[in-house]
Amino acid sequence: MKQNSKKWKGNLGLYFSVPVLSWALYDFANTIFSSNINTIFFPFFLQEQIGDNAVLDQIASTFISYANAMASLFLVLFSPLFGVMIDRTGRMKKYIVIFTLISVLSTFLMGVFGGVSFDGMVLGIPISLAIVIVLFVIAKFFYHSSLVFYDTMMSGLGTKKQMPLISGFGVAVGYLGTLMGLSIYPFISKGSSHEAFMPTAILFLVFSLPLFFLVKDAPITQKAKQPFLSGYKEIKATFKEMRSHRLIFTFMIAYFFLNDAIATTIGMMAVYAKTVVGFSSSGFILLYLVSTISSIAGSFLFGYITQSKGPRPAVTYVGVLLMVALFIAVFAQTALWFWIAGSMFGISLGSMWVTSRTYIIELTPEEKRGQFFGLFAFSGKVSSIIGPLLYGTITLVFHDLGTLASRMALGSLIIMTAIGLGFLFKLKKLEEVK
């Protein structure tokens, strides 16, 4: 009993040390952006601007999907290079600050242009709406770009044994940020979701400040300066060594399919709940609140499960939970079943970040860690293109079917999750051989 008490006190000391807490507060900050913009208010805004009936709601879903896919396309091109930059320079905080400020500014401007109206159309939509969509793509790109540096920074905050706990703590604190983000909801006028954009930008900035000022990069011997795009040569060389890194590349393939399901569900959750299951905006906010609490609990729980069982089995447990949640959501006929699905998805969402980040650190050599985190982001963002594109294309092609189109689109994510689990089982065999 005394040993457990000492262990718990030691963990509290780790969690509330200045570097770890400041690092975790950045997760708090960027989750405010992710939940408010990506999951809730930007989809609500597009639905207000475009959706007017069951058919137009599916068109709105297509716009949301394609905007998310566009942001992910730029991440596919650049995230591997960001990882090379980390290994070359050791500088992470500098780029987190720059990318966060660009994301914050873009989000703030979404609020400015979301509340005005210009004469004229572009690609069949009002100019002001087109500007907001472009700003969303920019904000999301730089938000996700900062995470390549942020996730890599975790490896310098503790020992390998502490990584699952630090990762779990960061994700749990991050989801507390969701609750902070939701606190602005009562002040948003009905039918004016753009009013959420400016306060979200301010909250994102304020809670990023501890990391900006209190966390330092670990000093490393910097390599000679080279052109940014030359990083592709190092990536090419790493791919040539694929046999030496078979475990990590197999995991990236598994993560590709699992993240496909997660990223697409995050982007489409609000519209699906409202148009398919019949949730009101306030009802969805309550559902999202419960899902967030599940994410917080799951993050802490899977931090300890990962430390006890190992990251690969822990990721597998999360994948199975995700598949069950999606299956229930696809066939849910009443709000009760969607409440169950939302809670299960919340647990799997938070836990996926906890387990996967820890597994990357366990599998990668330290001198190439930044590069592999870049490739890890690359894998995730390629899937973030394909998932929304697939979802959006299904809803577009079958929009005449109304809500059935969305059920079909969400059902495609069950197949993606099953493929991801297949690669995780293959990974188990590779670990046994090794």
Question: 119-163 pLDDT, tens per residue?
Answer: 777 666 778 888 888 899 899 989 988 988 888 888 778 777 788
Q: Could you report the per-residue pLDDT of 411-430, keeping only the tens digit for each?
A: 889 999 999 999 998 888 87
Band (434; pLDDT cuts 50, 70, 90): low
Band (220; pLDDT cuts 50, 70, 90): low
Whole-number Å distance between alpha carbons of 195 and 412: 34
Band (61; pLDDT cuts 50, 70, 90): low
Give first-to-last CA distance, the chain, whole Å: 37
Band (73; pLDDT cuts 50, 70, 90): confident
Whole-number Å distance between alpha carbons of 77 and 104: 22
Q: Give the pLDDT confidence score for residue 135 in this predicted structure.
A: 94
Bridge partners of 121, per DSSP, are 126
Whole-number Å distance between alpha carbons of 207 and 230: 34
Distances 431 to 51, 275, 357, 366 between C-alpha atoms, Å: 49, 44, 18, 20
Statement: residue 10 has pLDDT above 60 = no
Q: Give the pLDDT confidence score for residue 227 in this predicted structure.
A: 52
Statement: residue 231 has pLDDT above 60 = no
Q: What is the mean pLDDT of the chain?
A: 80
Contact 29, 203 (CB under 8 A): yes
Band (8; pLDDT cuts 50, 70, 90): very low
Q: Give the pLDDT confidence score for residue 26 in this predicted structure.
A: 95
Q: Could you give all domains of the chain from N- to C-terminal order, each with its CATH number? A: 21-216+231-433 (1.20.1250.20)
Statement: residue 405 has pLDDT above 80 = yes
Top pLDDT among 245 and 390 is at: 390
Statement: residue 109 has pLDDT above 80 = yes
Statement: residue 84 has pLDDT above 60 = yes
Would you state the structure tokens that stand for residue 95, as one six-digit string? 């780029």
Would you state the structure tokens that stand for residue 234, as one six-digit string? 């190092």
- Averaged pLDDT, 53-68: 62
Torsion of CA 330, 333, 335, 341, to 10 degrees: -30
Strands 125-126 and 121-122 turn out to be: antiparallel
Amino acid of residue 220: I
When mean pLDDT is compared across 12-21, 133-142, 378-387, the lowest value belongs to 378-387
Whole-number Å distance between alpha carbons of 185 and 193: 9
- Averaged pLDDT, 233-252: 67
Within 8 A by CB and 6+ apart from 325, the residues are: 341, 342, 344, 345, 348
Alpha helices in 273-309 (DSSP H): 281-309
Whole-number Å distance between alpha carbons of 183 and 191: 18
- Averaged pLDDT, 222-229: 53
Would you state the structure tokens that stand for residue 276, as one six-digit string? 């398919």
Q: Own/partner pairs for 129-133, CB < 8 Å, 24+ apart?
A: 129/49, 132/45, 132/194, 133/46, 133/63, 133/67
Torsion of CA 123, 127, 132, 133, to 10 degrees: 0
Whole-number Å distance between alpha carbons of 279 and 60: 17
